Amino acid sequence: MWLQNHNKEELLQAALERAQSTVTGAVSAEPAKPTLELWLVGLIMATLPVDEERRAAVIIGVAFADQAPFDEKIAAAIRSGDEAIRSNLVRLFAWRRAEGELKARLDDDSLSRAIFAFSAGLAGQLLYDPRPIAEIEALVAGVVASALV
């Protein structure tokens, strides 16, 4: 029985890591290039279910998020991944603010949480209400532009 549980946990962990790698890969791209605004739009678009691979990753992510309130291991893994991404965003925002590119009224932590929440919420909505990619890109660009002022 232990072996079955161990294998199940390993499979679940691998599935969660795969879903999280969609975002991690996008975050690791050269930050703020060519501009912070365009980079953020690209980051968010990379996390949305606009193709089969990303749709599968979002579905897995949503399934794990639904289990997180009932499973502390899953909650901790998601929390850790989220914190790492937000931490990177906060550092990026502080850098771009110091350089004069970012003038957002929100503090860097609140801005990172708002961008993160928008991205996750939109990803979930697109699972049941898919939209044309041009419409999604326009929405994302508008929200990002609004958040950065």
Domain that holds residue 88: 2-147
Number of domains in the chain: 1
Query: Which CATH number goes with the domain that contains 42?
Result: 1.10.357.10
Q: What would the pLDDT profile of 92-148 be if each residue is shown by its tens digit?
A: 999 999 999 999 999 999 999 999 999 999 999 999 999 999 999 999 999 999 999
Tell me the pTM.
Answer: 0.83
Query: In Å, how far are 46, 54, 126, 134 from 51, measured between CA atoms?
Result: 10, 6, 11, 13
Would you call 47 exposed, middle or buried from its count of C-beta atoms within 10 A (0-12, 13-18, 19+)? buried
